[in-house]
């Protein structure tokens, strides 16, 4: 039976180059994924130390259904965020979950700091600590290419790594996963860099026995049919999440030019439809997913006379199109892809980078920062100057750029312009301007992400103004997502995996949960995150909302400051009663 001996945790000490394996039966009560990872982070974290102190832990976790049911493909990473100073929580797919599954480990804790640049090779037989000095300074792409040649393996191998942004401890550096996916948000790449950890190669080579094959196959088939034979997930394979660009634009919900507007005149040119027609060359799927939502475009460049060209494949989705497209006034697909490529090679979070560039452009226009500080003149729509700024950001060749490397909110607090620094809870906004529920939801969500509670979706379904209902929906959605994330089910499949289906799947592999106990788990994880955040200094009353959110008309009309205050007051009265 899966997890018969408890949750298997691999503990890696980079400083001592030692490992320990633990079988933790007490962690079974947290099921897996974000439940287990939050509990482990709470055990290992040092609240008195900075996020980039080498002693801080990183926790990776999967759940019991990983890979063996459709679309259960993610891995959660938890850490102290160098961007917000509080809870860091990020998810990624492709092959990492599969590789972890077949090493036999449910969770990996990385602690300590290596004495020199290091990469890890993790298998079921142990961990090798390898010299990464020759890789230090290389791009994400170069690092991945070299590691795939050096660390041979089957399709059960996953390679995650950082670029120069992580090495330079930029607060919004991400970790690349198998080239086309990322632990993108909240600065996990900088935490890797603070540990001299360049990369991890995970090779899964073990098998997994299913005891009741007949019941497993019955439940698997039922879920598979809902995934591929209904319309629930159809849009993710078709145009991918970039399908959202035109509808959001039409409803005034597409953040444009640092949210000076909610619609973009160039939206058609950077829409999912336009990418599919002119640039799309390939679709990929995470291991264990039959959908294939990862959309790959190509940039074509001439390198010689006589029509000599090479092409570069680049993945895109709605969030990248918003952050480096409409938010910066970029309406040319190739220029947008080149900006995505630039952030990818350095290993930057594209969303945070785009929002930072939006603030910088407006701060320059308002003469809060000067050309001699930036080294150029940022302007909406000018992709070449944005590429130059990204190069200088990663080079960190001045105090000004070292300040920018700490994120939008830090820069605005120092140089001015907090009213148009589009952050919520210190985290750069996601690609929606739908109304009160989105702004409120990202602000109060555990990791200040639109994915915590889907406020953008609540805005689109509300009938009239009912603040009690909004707060209830935000809290209940976060609890439900804690359940799904404890199984690390891709949230695209949230309408497939209702509680009844989750219970059937767990029972088919010998785990006895019911709908009520899952609900209690969701609440327990909510409370555990809340208490952990407060240990790290988070206080609800410190949340503030930049004025720009109230000045630009959204999908539901103008967002009113008084209504946000209403929501906050109700939320504060319920926050400790979950």
Task: Supply the pLDDT for residue 483.
Answer: 98
237-407 CATH pick, 3.30.565.40, 3.20.20.370, 1.10.569.10, 3.30.43.10: 1.10.569.10
Using the predicted structure, report yes or no on whether residue 70 has a pLDDT greater than 90: yes
Mean pLDDT of the region 497-519 = 97
What sections of 279-398 are H helices per DSSP?
318-324, 333-346, 350-365, 371-374, 383-395
What are the structural domain ranges in the chain? 7-203, 237-407, 427-576
Using a 10 angstrom Cβ sphere, with 0-12 exposed, 13-18 middle and 19 or more buried, the burial of residue 555 is buried
Name the pairing type of β-strands 58-61 and 107-111. Answer: antiparallel
- Residue predicted with more confidence, 233 or 32: 32
Q: Which residues contact 157 (CB under 8 A, 6 or more apart)?
A: 95, 99, 151, 201, 202, 203, 204
Q: Tell me the mean pLDDT in the region 448-453.
A: 96
pLDDT tens, residue by residue, 320-374: 999 999 999 999 999 999 999 999 999 999 999 999 999 999 999 999 999 999 9
Question: Tens digit of pLDDT for each residue in 391-405?
Answer: 999 999 999 999 999
In CATH terms, is domain 7-203 a member of 3.60.9.10? yes
pLDDT value at residue 122: 97
Burial of residue 89, with CB atoms counted within 10 A of its CB: 0-12 exposed, 13-18 middle, 19 or more buried:
buried
Pairing mode of beta strands 423-424, 427-428: antiparallel
Q: Where are the alpha helices (DSSP H) in 169-283?
A: 188-194, 213-228, 234-238, 245-250, 272-278
| H or E element, residue 233 | none
Please state, in angstroms and rounded to a whole number, the distance separating the CA atoms of residues 386 and 527. Answer: 41
DSSP run (H or E) holding 564: helix 561-575
pLDDT, tens digit, for every residue of 230-285? 888 888 999 999 999 999 999 999 999 999 999 999 999 999 999 999 999 999 99
**Helix 350-365 and helix 408-415, axial crossing angle in degrees, nearest 10:** 20
Q: What pLDDT, on the 0 to 100 scale, is given for residue 465?
A: 93
Each residue's pLDDT tens digit, 182-202: 999 999 999 999 999 999 999
pLDDT tens string 125-172: 999 999 999 999 999 999 999 999 999 876 789 999 999 999 999 999
* pLDDT confidence of residue 231: 84
pLDDT in tens, 451-471: 999 999 999 999 899 999 999
CB 560 within 8 A of CB 545: no
Three-state DSSP class for 391? Answer: helix
pLDDT band at 5 (very low <50, low <70, confident <90, very high): confident
User: Alpha-carbon distance 338 to 312, whole Å?
Assistant: 10
pLDDT higher than 90, residue 4: no
pLDDT tens track for 551-563: 999 999 999 999 9
> So what's the pLDDT on residue 416?
98
Rounded-to-integer distance, Cα 185 and Cα 173, Å: 8
C-alpha gyration radius of the chain: 23
In a 10 Å sphere around its CB, with 0-12 CB exposed, 13-18 middle and 19+ buried, how is residue 232 labelled? middle
Residue 446 half-sphere exposure toward CB, CA atoms < 13 A: 30
9: left (phi over 0), alpha (psi -120 to 50) or beta: beta
Mean pLDDT over each residue of the chain, to the nearest integer: 96
Distance CA 497, CA 159 (A): 29
Angle at 239 between CA 231 and CA 429, to 5 degrees: 105
Q: What is the mean pLDDT of residues 37-47?
A: 98
Q: How far apart are CA 31 and CA 35, in angstroms?
A: 6
pLDDT recorded at residue 72 = 97
Identify which of 202, 177, 61 has the alpha carbon closest to the alpha carbon of residue 122.
202
Q: For the domain 427-576, what is the CATH code?
A: 1.10.599.10
């Amino acid at each position: 039976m899966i997890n018969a001996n408890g949750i298997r945790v691999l503990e890696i000490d980079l400083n001592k180059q030692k490992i320990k394996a633990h079988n933790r039966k007490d962690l079974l009560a947290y099921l897996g994924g974000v439940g287990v990872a939050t509990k482990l982070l709470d055990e290992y974290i040092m609240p008195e130390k900075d996020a980039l102190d080498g002693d801080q832990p990183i926790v990776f976790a999967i759940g019991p259904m990983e890979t063996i049911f459709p679309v259960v493909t993610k891995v959660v990473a938890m850490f102290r965020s160098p961007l917000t100073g509080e809870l860091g929580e990020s998810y990624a797919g492709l092959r990492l979950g599969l590789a972890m599954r077949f090493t036999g480990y449910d969770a990996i804790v990385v602690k300590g700091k290596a004495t020199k640049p290091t990469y890890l090779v993790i298998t079921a037989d142990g961990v090798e600590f390898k010299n990464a000095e020759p890789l230090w300074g290389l791009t994400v792409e170069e690092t991945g290419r070299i590691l795939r040649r050096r660390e041979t393996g089957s399709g059960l191998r996953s390679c995650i790594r950082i670029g120069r942004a992580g090495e330079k401890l930029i607060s919004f550096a991400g970790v690349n996963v198998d080239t086309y996916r990322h632990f993108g948000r909240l600065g996990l790449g900088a935490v890797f860099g603070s540990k001299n950890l360049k990369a991890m190669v995970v090779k899964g080579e073990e098998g997994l026995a299913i005891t009741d094959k007949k019941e497993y196959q019955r439940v698997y088939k039922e879920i598979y049919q809902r995934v591929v034979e209904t319309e629930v997930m159809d849009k993710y394979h078709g145009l991918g999440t970039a399908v959202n660009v035109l509808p959001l634009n039409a409803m005034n919900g597409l953040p444009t030019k640092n949210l000076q507007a909610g619609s973009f005149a160039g939206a058609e040119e950077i829409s999912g439809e336009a990418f599919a027609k002119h640039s799309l060359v390939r679709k990929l799927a995470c291991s264990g997913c039959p959908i294939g939502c990862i959309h790959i475009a190509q940039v074509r460049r001439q390198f010689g006379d006589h029509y000599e060209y090479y092409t570069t494949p680049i993945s895109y989705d709605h969030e990248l199109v918003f952050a480096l497209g409409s938010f910066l006034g970029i309406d040319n697909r190739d220029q947008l892809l080149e900006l995505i490529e630039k952030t990818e090679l350095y290993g930057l979070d594209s969303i945070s980078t785009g929002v930072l560039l939006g603030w910088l452009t407006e701060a320059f226009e308002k003469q809060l920062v000067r050309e001699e500080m930036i080294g150029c003149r940022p302007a909406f729509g000018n992709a070449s100057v944005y590429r130059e700024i990204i190069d200088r950001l990663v080079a960190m060749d001045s105090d000004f750029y070292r300040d920018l490397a700490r994120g939008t909110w830090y820069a605005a607090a120092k140089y001015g312009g907090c009213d148009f620094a589009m952050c919520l809870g210190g985290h750069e906004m996601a690609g929606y301007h739908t109304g009160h529920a989105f702004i409120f939801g990202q602000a109060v969500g555990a990791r200040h992400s639109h994915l915590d509670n889907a406020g953008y979706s609540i805005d689109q379904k509300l009938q009239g103004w009912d603040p009690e209902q909004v707060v209830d929906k935000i809290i209940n959605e976060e609890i439900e997502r804690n359940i799904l994330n404890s199984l690390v089910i891709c949230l695209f499949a949230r309408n497939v995996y209702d509680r009844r289906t989750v219970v059937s799947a767990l029972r088919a592999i010998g785990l006895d949960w019911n709908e009520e106990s899952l609900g209690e788990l969701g609440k327990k994880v909510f409370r555990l995150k809340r208490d952990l955040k407060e240990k790290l200094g988070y206080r609800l009353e410190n949340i503030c909302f930049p004025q720009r959110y109230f000045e630009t008309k959204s999908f539901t009309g103008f967002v009113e400051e008084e209504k946000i205050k209403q929501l906050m007051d109700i939320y504060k009265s319920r926050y400790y009663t979950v």
